[in-house]
Amino acid sequence: MSRKPNRKFFFNLIGVVVVAVWLTMMGFLIKRVQLGVRQPDLVHKDSIIDIAEAQREWKEIFIRDKKAGYAVSTLKPFEDGYFIQEEVFLRLNLMGMGRDLYMVTQTNIDDRFLLRNFYFKMTSGVVQFYFTGHVEGDQLIVKTGMGKDQRTQTIQLSRTPMMNAGVGYFFQSKKIQVGDTFTMPLFDPATMAQKEAVIRVTAKESLDIRGIVYQAFRLEAEMWGRPMTFWVDEHGSTLKEEGFMGLTTIKSSAANAPLDMESGTDEDFYEITSVPIDQALPDPMRLNYLKLRIHGIDPSALPSGLAEGDDDRQAFYRDIVVIQKEELPLKAPYALPKKDWPISFRPFVEPEFNIESDATEIIQQAREIAGDDANPLSVARKLMLWVYRNLDKRPVVSIPSALEVLKTRMGDCNEHATLITAMLRAVGIPARLNVGIVYNRNAFYYHAWTEAYLGNWITMDATMNQMPADVSHIRLVRGNIDQQVEIMGLIGNIHLELLDTRHD
């Protein structure tokens, strides 16, 4: 039976994609790792001091001075290396409702803190996401799901990485001093991305935490153009961390860290991350042309969706973006099923991380919806309408998986976009994810939608049942979650100026 969303609730859903991306960044902050330019590698065994005893650290997590969660991590010596477990408990206010999130990472690392294997799990309500991985030579073998749903993916490694959960303890194995620069390879399980981490020791200063004064090293880094700062004591234990959007963690204890979690933060996370505009858009559903100036952009660090060049729908000129509504083709230049796609289209018809278009359940459901229809245009509409009608529209704080969404039948824009993308690919229609912002309630909110190739690339928003999507959909990034983190450099920094509009 189809589920029709409450309109007010429905329109409050825009923006949840930024939660998943923000959690990735929060993970970097909690684990004391930030990204930067490549520097000489300082991870050598002869410069590392063995940690002989088990360690445990507790931290409280704050957003704009309001407690939002806590984290606890444990390290134990194990088989010529270490076993580490890190747990994060978080409560966010999404549309006036408290949403709880639990993340756990377990990892085995060698005595240089380099990865051997790991287990990662994220739980939010009834939605769970988990996977495991292990290093074999220069490859990382990742498995998601269990039983008949288990899937294996191989990631080519540039070199054996560290896990986020292990990097914090790295500082306990080093004698640091002002002027040091630390660089290390890093694998992040939340985004399946390999990165280079750079941290600089910039000063030694006094730090007051709840009336106790510590002599601490100040460490600084930059991530997506955002400054990140943290302080460690002379033994390498982390005392405090500060990031963007008021994100802060503070050293705590087993007794204090879980306290005062009932209220969580009283600021709505979507409102915190919304993008203001100088004036309201007139009748946005009827617009066929939109011209805006984006203030606060660093031209040297543009997201790929803006910097990759113009297309028929969206063009970007320095700080000005122009969007024109697409015209649906009268007829697609191919019929279904089509299997002989050129090489340039193959990434958009094949499965990838969490877009399980080759899963039996997704193929069967997509084919049942499509029936005997060979017209890509009408099949795309049928699939979009099915997703729109059959997904319970509610905020879900998790990493979206098309297979999991098909089972739970719930989610927000990211879940809708991921499932429709997988279904389109399952019937042979090229499809790709878009992440950007969309207009609602006199502001823009972060959002996810899909593009399908129907002779031209046509936008589809299964959350809002639009094909093509209205021109207030401004693309910032194309791609899966490993590309979506690029938007972090814009959040809280940009605002829009309306220059011109045109209606039907």
For range 300-324, the mean pLDDT: 77
Q: Using pLDDT thresholds of 50, 70 and 90, give the confidence band for residue 470.
A: very high
Q: Using pLDDT thresholds of 50, 70 and 90, give the confidence band for residue 417.
A: very high
Domain boundaries, the chain: 17-252, 287-503
Do 32 and 238 form a contact (C-beta atoms < 8 A)? yes
Task: Identify the CA nearest to 122 among candidates 173, 168, 87.
Answer: 87
Q: What is the pLDDT of residue 51?
A: 75
Task: Identify the CA nearest to 51 among candidates 184, 182, 162, 172.
Answer: 172
For range 53-79, the mean pLDDT: 89
Q: Report the Cα 125 to chain-centroid distance in Å.
A: 19
- Tell me the C-alpha distance between 288 and 311, whole Å: 15
Do 178 and 203 form a contact (C-beta atoms < 8 A)? yes
Give me the chain's average pLDDT, please. 82
Q: What is the pLDDT of residue 42?
A: 44
Q: What is the pLDDT of residue 53?
A: 82
Is the per-residue pLDDT at 326 higher than 50?
yes
Q: What is the pLDDT of residue 223?
A: 63
Task: Identify the CA nearest to 71 among candidates 107, 117, 102, 114.
Answer: 102
Instruction: Name the residue with tokens 């991530």.
Output: 223
Q: What is the pLDDT of residue 491?
A: 80
Q: What is the pLDDT of residues 30-54, one digit of tens each?
A: 543 333 333 334 444 445 556 778 8
Lowest-confidence region among 67-71, 342-346, 380-384, 394-398: 394-398
Q: What is the pLDDT of residues 480-503, one digit of tens each?
A: 876 777 777 778 888 999 999 998
Q: What is the pLDDT of residue 107?
A: 92
For range 336-349, the mean pLDDT: 92
What are the CB-based long-range contacts (under 8 Å, 24+) for 409-414? Answer: 409/3, 410/126, 410/127, 411/127, 412/13, 412/16, 412/17, 412/463, 413/13, 413/14, 413/15, 413/16, 413/17, 413/447, 413/448, 413/449, 413/461, 413/463, 414/16, 414/17, 414/20, 414/448
Residues sharing a CB contact under 8 Å with residue 295, sequence separation 6 or more, in sequence order: 319, 494, 495, 496, 497
Do 280 and 442 form a contact (C-beta atoms < 8 A)? yes
Range picked from 48-52, 57-61, 427-431 for highest mean pLDDT? 427-431
Instruction: Name the residue with tokens 């039907």.
Output: 504
Q: What is the pLDDT of residue 8?
A: 41
Q: What is the pLDDT of residues 2-40, one digit of tens each?
A: 444 443 444 444 455 566 556 655 555 554 333 333 333
Instruction: Name the residue with tokens 């984006």.
Output: 294
Residue 471: how many CA atoms within 13 Å on its side-chain side?
Answer: 27
Is the per-residue pLDDT at 350 higher than 90?
yes
Q: Is 155 helix (H, G, I), strand (E, B) or coil?
A: strand
Is the per-residue pLDDT at 73 higher than 50?
yes
Total-model pTM: 0.83
- Please determine, looking at this structure, whether the domain spanning 287-503 carries the CATH number 1.10.10.10: no
Q: What is the pLDDT of residues 167-183, one digit of tens each?
A: 667 777 777 889 988 87
Alpha helices in 171-297 (DSSP H): 269-272
Q: What is the pLDDT of residues 354-409, one digit of tens each?
A: 899 999 999 999 999 999 999 999 999 999 999 999 998 887 777 788 998 999 99
Q: What is the pLDDT of residue 335?
A: 94
Lowest-confidence region among 70-84, 127-141, 213-227, 407-421: 213-227
Q: Using pLDDT thresholds of 50, 70 and 90, give the confidence band for residue 221.
A: confident
Q: What is the pLDDT of residues 240-270, one digit of tens each?
A: 988 777 788 999 999 999 988 755 456 777 7
Do 70 and 256 form a contact (C-beta atoms < 8 A)? no
Task: Identify the CA nearest to 116 among candidates 162, 76, 155.
Answer: 162
Q: What is the pLDDT of residues 94-139, one digit of tens each?
A: 766 677 888 898 999 998 888 999 998 888 776 777 889 999 999 9
Q: What is the pLDDT of residue 343?
A: 94
Q: Using pLDDT thresholds of 50, 70 and 90, give the confidence band for residue 64.
A: confident
